[in-house]
A and B are shown apart, each in its own frame.
Chain A
Amino acid sequence: MAVAVTNKITKTMLRKFILLALISLNLSSQAAVLPEDRADIMYHRYEGGGVTIDGPSLLIRKDFASTVSVSANYYVDSVSSASIDVETSGASRYSEERTEYSLTADYLYDKAILSAGYTNSEENDYQADTYYFGVSQDFFGDLTTITLGYSRGDDTVMQNGNDLFKDQLDRQNYRFGISQIATANLIVNVNYEVVTEEGYLNNPYRSYRYIDPTNPNNTISETEIYPATRTSDAVSLGARYFLPYRAALSGNYRYFSDDWDIKAQTFTLGYTHPIGNDWILDFTYRFYQQDNAFFYSDLHDFQSVDSKDFRARDKELSEFSNQTFGIGVSYQFQLGNSEIFDKSSINLQYDFIQFDYDNFRDIRNSSTPGDEPLYSFDANVLRLFFSIWY
């Protein structure tokens, strides 16, 4: 029944968006002018919940004849993980590496920008290829920008230690956005996105637990059983405001819901404060809250009876909330020949994220099943990067 509803939603969504032919997955787009030429080199680091992931990210962007702008990105995640999921599955800390290459091109045609991009991500048990297309156009005296985007992904899911396991996941994203300059100091935007996924949607390393029918103080674990499709939509409203003493205030609200019954809300606030001509401070606050998927439970009552009797215990599908406090400092300077290099900057950004789970329990300390403490953890996220414009 869930599959029939999913197909119906998919068809309706597709019909609604029949006009949305090309879509851009650029996080930001500016019509009528191509993005600036630049190069960035960044060190990123995430530490939290027993997981440490760090690595580089390199970006180079160059435009040709003021008509086409091309960018290339090289990104690596070096993972060292003894997360709660690793520990409770009885495994020991593991290390792995994920490498990602991206190539994008933006073509400027009158007041429109056509974008296309390809991303390849590889690690020893997961491979993802993503393609995207987008168009962005200015209207009404360049005060309004409309963006359409489409992306599709082909993922291959594998499992370390099990050479027989290999499955597919197909993803499609459809996005529509309008950005409107309201006054000389205020810009407002609305975004809407539909995501449909089909294939192997679980994580092969995750299991769910259910009460042992022979012993209520015991639980039995088995591999999760997920639906084969997932369709979601998200809508967001945001604004940026220029304060008269030269500073910027921004806010964003997003509402997400999908056919797994997950509903989520995200609130973001940002404040950018330049000091003089060379320094910029950024402050952000973000709050996120989600409900659990209908087939999620920390402790299921019964074992699954067949492949349509779904079971999950992945904390990503649980009911939880998180909040982030972020700060960033940027120093701009002139490096070398000002005829070749416009400007350069050195930047440090730090975010502190607190995760609180409302129905996912920390079962590392044995206790009566269902009475274990609720899980929570904090994460530190660091970005240190150098940028140069030319």
Chain B
Amino acid sequence: MRTILIILLASISQFSLAADTTPDFTLKSNQGNNQRLSEYQGQVVLINFWASWCGPCRQEMPLLEEIQQKYAKLGVTVLGINVDKDPSKADKILRETQVSFPILYDSEGEVSKLFKVKAMPTTFILDREGTIRFSHMGFKPGYEDQYAANIKTLIRE
């Protein structure tokens, strides 16, 4: 049933993910439980796809933590989706760069495929209804200011 839903969703969407069909997913998290994207409806969500072998991704992590700390009380959640085939590699990075937001493990790459991830890292920012409103491919110093600006726009809605 899940597979049929995923195939249906995948065939509906175009090159880059369109505005109103954000795929829902459930992934194992580093906080011990399974987490589902739709549980976060009502919050502004920043989803960041990253990997242990990606230099710019590691550079971005502490900045995402700053964003989480700054905007948490305004109803913003950061979700890190790690795409390493071996999750222990992700945990090694997380031991050195500790973050308070949940890390979800997409080791089979299914959610990456659903979201049509085209670069590493990729960041999507969703509004309170769960619609993708902004997307950023890659990471260069200064992108975190764009994320903050996007979040401020969505908080005000």
Contact = CB atoms under 8 A, between A and B. Distances in A.
B118 to A, nearest CB: 8
Interface in A319-372: 338
Contact of A338 (B59, B96, B119): B96
A65 B141 contact: yes
B56 interface: yes
A66 B141 contact: yes
Interface string B35-61: 000000000000000000001100100
Contact of B59 (A32, A66, A141): A66
Interface in B83-116: 96
A60 interface: no
A33 interface: yes
Nearest to B54: A33
A242 to B, nearest CB: 12
Nearest to B56: A33
A142 B138 CA distance: 12
Contacts of A33: 55-56
Contact of A36 (B55, B56, B96): B55
B73 interface: no
Interface string B112-128: 00000011000000000
Main secondary structure on B side of the interface with A: loop
A141 B56 CA distance: 17
Main secondary structure on A side of the interface with B: loop
Nearest to A277: B92
B140 A66 contact: yes
A77 B118 CA distance: 47
Interface in B21-36: none
Interface residues of B, number: 9
Contacts of B118: 141
Interface in B131-156: 138, 140-141
Interface in B54-76: 55-56, 59
A128 B56 CA distance: 38
Nearest to B95: A338
A235 to B, nearest CB: 32
A276 to B, nearest CB: 14
Contacts of A66: 56, 59, 140-141
Nearest to B97: A339
A27 to B, nearest CB: 20
A222 to B, nearest CB: 59
Nearest to B140: A66
Nearest to B59: A66
A90 B140 CA distance: 63
Most buried by B among A36, A66, A142: A66
Nearest to B118: A141
Interface in A137-169: 141-142
A65 B119 CA distance: 20
A325 B59 CA distance: 40
A205 to B, nearest CB: 49
A33 B51 CA distance: 15
Contacts of B140: 66
Contacts of B56: 33, 66
A32 B55 CA distance: 11
A33 B121 CA distance: 12
Nearest to B139: A66
A141 B117 CA distance: 11
A141 B137 CA distance: 12
A66 B55 CA distance: 11
A385 B119 CA distance: 35
Given A66-B141, A142-B119, 10 more contacts: A32-B138, A33-B55, A33-B56, A36-B55, A65-B141, A66-B56, A66-B59, A66-B140, A141-B118, A338-B96
7 contacts: A32-B138, A33-B55, A36-B55, A65-B141, A66-B140, A141-B118, A142-B119
Sorted nearest first, the 8 A-B pairs with minimum C-beta distance are A66-B141, A66-B140, A33-B55, A338-B96, A65-B141, A33-B56, A36-B55, A66-B59
